[in-house]
Structures are given as structure tokens and as C-alpha cells.
Structure 1
Amino acid sequence: MSGKAIISDVKTFSCSNSWRNYYFLKITSQDGLSGWAEFDQNFGSPGVEAVIKQIGHRLVGQSAMNHEHIREDLRNVTRPGQGGVVGQALGALENALLDLKAKTLDVPCYTLLGGKIRDEIRVYWSHCVSYRTRTEHFSPPITDIEGVRQIAREVGERGFTGLKTNIFEYDDNDRITNWAPGFGSVFEPGRNVERHTRQNLRRHLETMREAAGPDIDILLDLNFNARTEGYIEILREIADLDIFWVELDTLDPEAMAMIRDKSAHPIAGLETLIGLQQFLPFFRAGAVDVAILDTPWNGVWQSMKIAAAAEAYDVNVACHNFYGHLCTMMNAHFCAAVPNLRIMETDIDRISWDKDIFTHEPEFKDGHLVMPDRPGWGTEPIEEALLDHPSVEMNMYNRVPVARLRS
């Protein structure tokens, strides 16, 4: 068996996703099979592709059947810079190796993970409102409160049972803008959450609840957009509302545990962590009700280890998934196999050519993703189709700053 799936080539690809780029990794074996993974270098991670190109040659001549051996070799040669873009590059390589191994064995990837526990995975509609405020990319566009009502109604009409939204502010004409100082949409390094922001957020959530109805679960994502004080103030503002979970990011386990202790709602987070060692302090502190794992960043095999540690602390897991269809299926195989799953994130608003650049799209039925039994991840990019959508040069890292210092 070790003589199978001998790696002959490691190659990366990218194409436009209209407002950012998709990135893919292809590992080819001497048998003519290919393992694919999707990775990302838009979400605060410039340079993942460069790391892959620097270390990918070490895979050539090795067997994808021994993916744990390969990962340990790569950890050894990158140890001083572990985490960050290095960790994400290792995660991408691991995911492509899993796909290649599963295709060599002619089995779905979830078989490698212990087999599937569930045939269907409950999903929630992520970035509900925020994507459609990118009016040049998504339709129907949302510019005001009526658009918010419309998409909230649409969630249930299309058979989904949960949605996740973000922080928005409304002006005197009910037009909305996203409020995200943690990601630079406004320049406010203190990330202070003033009264008007809290009141606008409450209005936004009440508007979505009224339009969606009482049976749709509403999740709120605060990201890195506040500090401890601001998160606590937001939680006080919305304490009486019906919220499935409040998702937030902080790098301080004790601070997150204190926030959780003061919250009327379950707290989810940790999606930006890489490696079990980064997760453990949060588990020990009792910082989260749901640990969110980015399996493209960590690698699905490593993510199963993190999920097992979470289960030891009686914590459920979810996945961070706002990428392309390949990432959705990578996450789906993790969700199908992991025992302590809460729910799966997915983006329902898609760009028009998503259906053209992947061999298969995810299948949704009654608010659930239906697991396929195709070998590997069950979908892969179509190389020729990627050429029809060249990578965009203008991305999030060379936008004009939202504010400049006055001279």
C-alpha cells in the first residue's frame, strides 16, 4: 500500500471570486490521480501560496498514504514559524493529501475520518445581509431596512432554519452600513462600541426576527469588532433577544471566559486559531460553548484531533466556512464524521460562476447539506474553467485605507 499514491507534482491555482480570489492546491500522483484542496489568503493571510511553493517539493516521491508522516516532516522544517500562514499552508497540503488518499482507495474522505455519523448536516445561512450589501457582486442588493426584511423572509422560504448576521448601523433614511472596525471598515483602533451602535444592532436583530418569524434561529457574529468591555455591553443590550449563539473573537482565554459568564446566550468562537495547542487554553478556561474550527486552515485530520479535545471538555464544535464549494465539502466531511457537532456554516449567496468552476455543487435539502458518496471530497475545481475567470489584481490588501492621518 505504501507504494501507491506516490506524489509527482504539487501545484497551485487561483481564479477570481469577483471581490476576492479562490485558491486551490493540486497534488498529483504517479498513478495519474489528483488530490485537491482549497485554501485562502484573503482573510488576513497573505502569502499562504508562497509557503506552499517553498515547501511543496518535499512531498515529491513520498506517498500520500502517509500524510501524517509528511505533515510531521513539514512541521519540523517550519517549526520556528509555526502557525499563521505556515500553519495554513500545512493545512492545505494535508487536505489535498487526504483527497488523494481517499481517491486512491476509492472512498469518500469521511471514511478516512472514521466513517460518517450523519447523512445530512444542518446548516445555517451565513453572512445574511452582509454579502448582499456588496451590491456590485450579489443580487438582489441590500441597501436599506427593506432589503434586510426581504432576505430574512427568504431564509425560511428557501427551507433553511438558521441565519447568521453581523453588526449594522442605520441612518435617518434607514439605509444600512456594515460596522466592522476590527476589519478596517471604519478606522477605530479602540474598537469602542458606543450607544448608537448597540441600539442599531438591536434594531437590526429585531427587524430580522420580525421578518424571519419565530422558528428561524438567528446567530450573531461580532468577529474582532470590540474589546472585552464592548462585547459585554453588546450582550447586555441584546440579553432579552432570542439568539442561537453570539460569536466573537479574542486571543485572551480568560477574557473570553468572563464574557461567556456574563452572557445570556451561548458563546461561540476560536475560528482564527491554528493547532491544538492554541485551542487548549480556551478549553481549560471554559471560554466557549461552541468551538469553531477552520478546517482549511488546520487541515481536516488535525481538526478531528481538536474536536476530540473539545469533546473531552464537553464542548461542541462547528466549522468556519465562507469559501468556495470545495471548502464547503471539505468541511462537510469533517462535520459528517465528528461526534460533537453543533451546526455547519455555509454561504447561500454565491457568485454566478461558482456553478461553472466546480465539478459538483453542494446539495441542500430542508436546511441540510446532503452528504455525497463520491470518492475524495466529492467535488474539485475544473482547471479549464478557472482560466475563464483570471485572478483579480485589486484585493483587500491594496484598497484605499478607510482613514488617513492628517498631516
Structure 2
Amino acid sequence: MKIQGIETLHCDAGWRHFSFLKVTTNEGLVGWSEFNEGFGSTGLGALIEALAPIVIGMDPMRIELIGNTLHTRTVQSRGGLNRQAIAAIENALLDIKGKALGVPVHALLGGAVRDRIAVYWSHCGSYRARYPESQTGVPMIRDYDGLSRLAEEVRARGFRALKTNTLLPDGKGGLRSHRPGFGHGAGFPELNWSPEVVRGAHDTAMAMRQGGGPDMGVMLDVNFHFKPEGVMRIAEALAPVGLAWLEVDTHDVRSLELIRRVANCPIASGETLCERRDFKPFLEAYSMDVAIIDVIWNGFCESLKIAAMAEVYEINVAPHNFYGQLSSVISAHFCAAVPNLRIMEIDIDSVAWRDEFVTTPPVIENGAMLVPTGPGWGCDVNEAAVRARPPRA
């Protein structure tokens, strides 16, 4: 069996695009993966297609060889987009191999250690506050009372944990996201904290606590939006909420180590790190309680290696998963295969029509996703549905 073709596909997902990779073989097997074209990864699809000639004609079953071949061709610019492109190709090849052998991907790599995966409702309220219903198909939230009611819905639907972002009154009868670390709104580029923003972080998380109840795992993600000083102020202010974790993005090991040392809640980090080499100094410094691994960026095989390394330091892992439903399925296979799992991220509000793009949407029961059991990922891309919703300009 030989790799015959590689094609990228993109579709409209409301306020963003979903992107998929299709790898075909000369024997008719098709492998699928999902990748993230936007949010700092512009041009990724073109890079994947540029790497395609290297693997055309190779045996898709020899995934480690293909991965190492691509790594050596890109080693002078390790990580970043190159890693994400390699990951997309490797993930699609795992789908092919599972289908060829008639087994789910997790069975290729030690087998499942669990058949149900605890998931948390991510970006809870964040998307509903930020985007109009015309873009997402879900109703907007305009105040903290609305956040509390949403948290009640989360609890009623059986979820035991949720994650949100800092939301502040916008002065126009709604809420706005505090996102200076991504170049949006006030606070860019200084990333200084202010009493107003710290109060907003507290009020956001407290609204979720009040609606979700005392047993709800409430998490707050501050991304790259603050310097360590601001993160520590927020951690202090949110002590009454009792966070399940405070999520922080930084590429400086010592900054995260300092935050973890003084914070009164667990610290989660790592979603933007690529490969074991990036995670190594953070693990050695014991700078995080939960290592967040992006399986779509790193690739399934590399993610397993990162998780195994994290376990040496007694650290559990959680996949970063704010993409489409195929990504959720891929992440579920990862969660099924690793022993040191904390919980899995999933977007419920992403876009109302996201289930259209896959043949078998994830099944969630009482806050847990059922591990797929079909060959490969156990889920294919609905190519007709993807092509029927081309990306908006």
C-alpha cells in the first residue's frame, strides 16, 4: 500500500473555519485528520501541501519512519507550523492504519485504559458573549446572570466541569472578552492588570460557581493576556471561587514556576508548546499541575510521548481541543490510551452545525464522552457537507 494523494479541505464554522486533511492510498483507503488553519497558524494548509511530495509513494503503515523523515526535512525550523503540518499528516496515517487492520487507533498504541472520558464544557459563555447568534446558532449572553443560568444548564446536562474566560461589562448592555494578549481590545500591548479586569475575572468565575453549584469544577483561562503579576493578582482574587484550575499561557518556564508557587489553586499550561523538547523544561521545573497537550498540533504519537514524560513527574495531562468534532474524536482516542489523564476539553457552543461535518459525532452521556470503537478514528469527514459550506470570505 502506498500514499497516493494529500488534499486539504476547509469549511465555514461561523466565526472561523474548520480544516481537514484527506490522505488517499492506491488501495482505496482514506485517512482523515483535522488541523487548525487560523489563530496563529495561517498558511498551514499550504505548508501541508508543500510537504506532500515527500510522502507520496511511501508506505502509510510506517508512520514513525514518515514522521522522522518529515522531521529531518524541517529540523532547521523545528516546531511551530512545521510540527502542526507533520501532526496533520501523521494523524491521518493513523486513521488509515487503524482501518487497514480493522481496529480503533487507541488499540494500535496499547489499547484503551478507559471507555468513558470525563469532559468539560470549554469556552463556556465566552462564545455566547462574543459572537451573535447569526454566526453560531446559539443565543448570546449579555450579563453575569446569563452566565449563571448557563452554568445551571451545564450542570443539568450532566457536566461536572466547565471553563470560561474573563468577561467584562462592555458599557453597551453586553459583555466583552478581555483578550489583549491576542491583540484585541484595551490592554494591548502592555498586558497590565487593573482592578476592573481583576474584578471582571472574579465576577465571571463567581457567576459560574453560583450557577454550577459547589461541586462544579470551575476553570478560568487567562491565556497570554497578563504578565505574571496580573495572573497572581487574579489567582488571589479568585480564591473564594475555589477554581479547579487557573489556565495560563507562557513560554517562560520561571514565570510559570513563580505563578504556581504562589497561586492558591492548581495551574494548567502547555497548550501552545510543541514537541517533547518544549515541554521538558516546564516539567523539570514542576511549573504546572496539569500539562495541556494539543494533539492536533503535536500529533497523536508525539502527544503520547509527551504524556509519558509528564507521568515521570507525577503530572496528569489534558488535551487542548477547541476545534471541530473530528478533533474531539482524535483527542478521545488519546485520552483512552494515556493512564495519566485529568479531563478532556470540548467545545459545546462552537457552532450549531458542526455535527454535519462528520459521519459519527461524539456521544456524550452525563458529562462523559464514549470512547469510539470503530476502525481508525471511528469517524470520517462528511466531505459533501464540508464542500457545501465553503469558508466565508
TM-score band by shorter chain is: over 0.9
C-alpha distance in 2 between matches for 1:149 and 1:48: 38
Tell me if the contact between 1:117 and 1:339 (Cα under 8 Å) persists in the aligned partners. yes
C-alpha distance in 2 between matches for 1:219 and 1:207: 12
Partner of 1:108: 104
AA of the residue aligned to 2:124 = C
Q: Which of 24, 28, 34 is matched with 2:24 structurally?
A: 28
Residue 6 (str. 1) matches residue 2 (str. 2): yes
Q: Give deviations 1:6-55, integer Å, cap 9, x for gaps.
A: 21111111111111111111111111010110000212111111111111
> Secondary structure of the residue that 1:240 maps to in structure 2?
helix
Partner of 1:322: 322
Partner of 2:198: 198
**CA deviation after TM superposition for structure 1 residue 353, in Å:** 2.2
Partner of 1:95: 91
> Secondary structure of the residue that 2:388 maps to in structure 1?
coil
Q: Give deviations 1:328-348, integer Å, cap 9, x for gaps.
A: 000000000101000000011
Unaligned 5+ runs, structure 2: none
C-alpha distance in 2 between matches for 1:50 and 1:168: 35
> Secondary structure of the residue that 1:387 maps to in structure 2?
helix
Residue 211 (str. 1) matches residue 211 (str. 2): yes
Q: Which of 12, 17, 30 is matched with 2:13 structurally?
A: 17
C-alpha distance in 2 between matches for 1:146 and 1:261: 33
C-alpha distance in 2 between matches for 1:201 and 1:391: 33
> Secondary structure of the residue that 1:52 maps to in structure 2?
helix
Matches within 5 A, 1:176-325: 176-187=175-186, 188-325=188-325
C-alpha distance in 1 between matches for 2:286 and 2:370: 33
Q: With structure 1 as the length reference, what TM-score do the two structures score?
A: 0.93
Partner of 2:58: 62
> Secondary structure of the residue that 1:220 maps to in structure 2?
strand
> Secondary structure of the residue that 1:378 maps to in structure 2?
coil
> Secondary structure of the residue that 2:240 maps to in structure 1?
coil
AA of the residue aligned to 2:335 = C
C-alpha distance in 2 between matches for 1:208 and 1:352: 22
> Secondary structure of the residue that 1:280 maps to in structure 2?
helix
**CA deviation after TM superposition for structure 1 residue 174, in Å:** 6.2
Q: With structure 2 as the length reference, what TM-score do the two structures score?
A: 0.97
**CA deviation after TM superposition for structure 1 residue 355, in Å:** 2.2
C-alpha distance in 1 between matches for 2:173 and 2:312: 47
Q: Give deviations 1:258-280, integer Å, cap 9, x for gaps.
A: 10000110000110011100000
Tell me if the contact between 1:145 and 1:175 (Cα under 8 Å) persists in the aligned partners. no
Partner of 1:165: 164
Tell me if the contact between 1:7 and 1:60 (Cα under 8 Å) persists in the aligned partners. yes
Partner of 2:141: 142
Cα RMSD (Å) of the superposition? 1.2
C-alpha distance in 2 between matches for 1:91 and 1:60: 16
C-alpha distance in 2 between matches for 1:350 and 1:225: 22
Describe the shift of the 1:219–1:333 C-alpha distance in structure 2 as closer, same or farther (beyond 3 A): same
AA of the residue aligned to 1:227 = K
Partner of 2:68: 72
Aligned length: 389
AA of the residue aligned to 2:301 = W
C-alpha distance in 2 between matches for 1:66 and 1:130: 41
C-alpha distance in 1 between matches for 2:276 and 2:262: 26
> Secondary structure of the residue that 2:22 maps to in structure 1?
strand
Residue 119 (str. 1) matches residue 115 (str. 2): yes
Matches within 5 A, 1:345-364: 345-364=345-364
Partner of 1:400: none
**CA deviation after TM superposition for structure 1 residue 173, in Å:** 7.4
C-alpha distance in 1 between matches for 2:139 and 2:91: 34
C-alpha distance in 1 between matches for 2:329 and 2:287: 28
**CA deviation after TM superposition for structure 1 residue 364, in Å:** 0.3
Tell me if the contact between 2:35 and 2:88 (Cα under 8 Å) persists in the aligned partners. yes
Partner of 1:332: 332
Q: Could you tell me the percent identity over the aligned residues?
A: 42
> Secondary structure of the residue that 1:341 maps to in structure 2?
coil
Partner of 1:396: none
**CA deviation after TM superposition for structure 1 residue 171, in Å:** 5.2
C-alpha distance in 2 between matches for 1:311 and 1:250: 21
Tell me if the contact between 1:145 and 1:174 (Cα under 8 Å) persists in the aligned partners. no
